[in-house]
Amino acid sequence: MVAAAAMLVGALAATAGVLFVNRGDQHRYAVNVFLTRDVSAEQKTAIESALHDLRPVEAIRFESREQAWQHFKETFKDSPDLIEQASAAALPESFRLTTEGRDFDCGRLTPIRRLPGVDEIQVIQQPAEGKPGATVGCGAAPAARPSAAAPSPTPDTVRAELVEALRRSQGVAHRYAVRGNLPEGQSVKGSGAFDPKARRFQATISVTGGKYPAAGSRVVIGTDSYVRSAEQKDWVHVDLKRVKRDDPFLRFDWADPTGLKTFSAAITSAQRTGPHTYTGRFDPDGKDITSFLPVGAPSMVSIGMPLSPFTITTDEQGWVTSIVVELTPRTGPKLTMTTTMSGHGTALKIKSPARFGEAADFYYDKCPGLRSPPVPASRDATVGRRAASKPSAGNQHRRASGGTWGRR
């Protein structure tokens, strides 16, 4: 299987799901054919020859691993941590072309998909005239073209309905719990509460297994954040007004503290499978390499994962009560993450800790990547205690085959 295929600019894995664009005007489609690692020269020749049947409007381009690596480094030049975790050997070779049409007939990919040496094919409708681009979901089976007499229903209405239920559920006070398995043999378990209108938040997260088990808690009230690891007795107060927006350890996003909003935007298709059940596909890579998984404990960055399945349930009032997602790395076991929500609209009692110390001044410096999560300042408030060398739950980094994972 292709490793880290979607690490390239604009590449979104599209091996499943449905996001079919059917407008009356012409569109340009980028077709990317990723090759297996053991593809032979003869197989490459056969694949390139078959691609001419797609009637490319420009020459078919072959991209080597080294070219893909140079492209990757240029794209993520502002994210050295991602570059450090990747390599040319982890990137796939590919053929790339552009074609035009009112819509894209996925059935034309069927004979190409069956050729030896082809791993994955993705199709991306390119943006034009102010209209955003979109991933065209082409599954393994040929796409059925709707007839004029009996048009097939699109998933857009159901998707919009589901996204609205998620938005509504996040917009009121609620409690949540999260559990799931992570790469490298780790597991996560946690719980929390969030009141967006009162601007109050609290969470306790525990990561077990693997090399770096850790646990910690956080309380946020307005612009005051209080953090404490399981190894610390006292809470540490952080003034969010002094925190840089790009600080990976101290920042807090009131618009999406649990990752639910970003998850909603990553949904590509949805269908009803029961009175209170939705299933569908979402893009684990999200937008702009944003961490939003697990929902409720957003801490992982995924690059190169295919569209993945989810199941969401609601109650009689339409509140979202459960979100289950499944991720399948190309190596390692399947990852399942479950988030439950309850108490929608019920007032929460979230208070600041009675005892806490102030974070040392150097934690507000311009180089957040060079320090550990905060500990209380010393008595003279000028030098902070040295943090333990073992990573905390918030700054681990891990990688899984078939995609790059990073703990935020």
| pLDDT tens, position by position, 129-188 | 655 556 676 654 333 334 444 344 345 788 889 999 999 999 999 999 999 988 888 899
What local confidence, expressed as pLDDT, does residue 105 receive? 83
Q: Which residue in 364, 363, 360, 397 sits closest to 379, CA to CA?
A: 360
Give the DSSP per-residue string, 227-255: EEETT-SSEEEEEGGGS-TT-TTT---TT
Convert the pLDDT of each residue in 299-356 to its tens digit: 887 877 888 999 999 998 899 999 999 998 877 788 999 999 999 999 999 999 999 9
Q: Which residues of the chain are under the pLDDT cut of 70?
A: 1-25, 76, 78-83, 85-86, 128-135, 137-155, 287-289, 366-408
The yes-or-no answer to whether 5-142 and 160-349+393-407 have a common fold is: no
What local confidence, expressed as pLDDT, does residue 3 receive? 32
What local confidence, expressed as pLDDT, does residue 406 receive? 41
Cα–Cα distances in angstroms (integers) from residue 402 to residues 40, 303, 305, 310, 315, in the given order: 21, 8, 6, 19, 35
What local confidence, expressed as pLDDT, does residue 246 receive? 78
Query: What's the CA gap between 302 and 305, in Å, rounded?
Result: 7
Distance from the Cα of residue 222 to its chain's centroid: 27
Cα–Cα distances in angstroms (integers) from residue 246 to residues 100, 174, 364, 365, 383, in the given order: 39, 27, 11, 12, 23
Query: What's the CA gap between 129 and 292, in Å, rounded?
Result: 30
What local confidence, expressed as pLDDT, does residue 133 receive? 57
Q: Give the residue carrying structure tokens 């019920």.
A: 346
What local confidence, expressed as pLDDT, does residue 397 receive? 38
What local confidence, expressed as pLDDT, does residue 273 receive? 87
CATH fold, domain 160-349+393-407, is: outer membrane lipoprotein receptor (LolB), chain A (2.50.20)
What local confidence, expressed as pLDDT, does residue 150 receive? 39
What local confidence, expressed as pLDDT, does residue 128 receive? 67
Domain ranges in the chain? 5-142, 160-349+393-407
- Residue 126: helix, strand or coil by DSSP? coil
CATH (residue range 5-142)? 3.30.70.3040
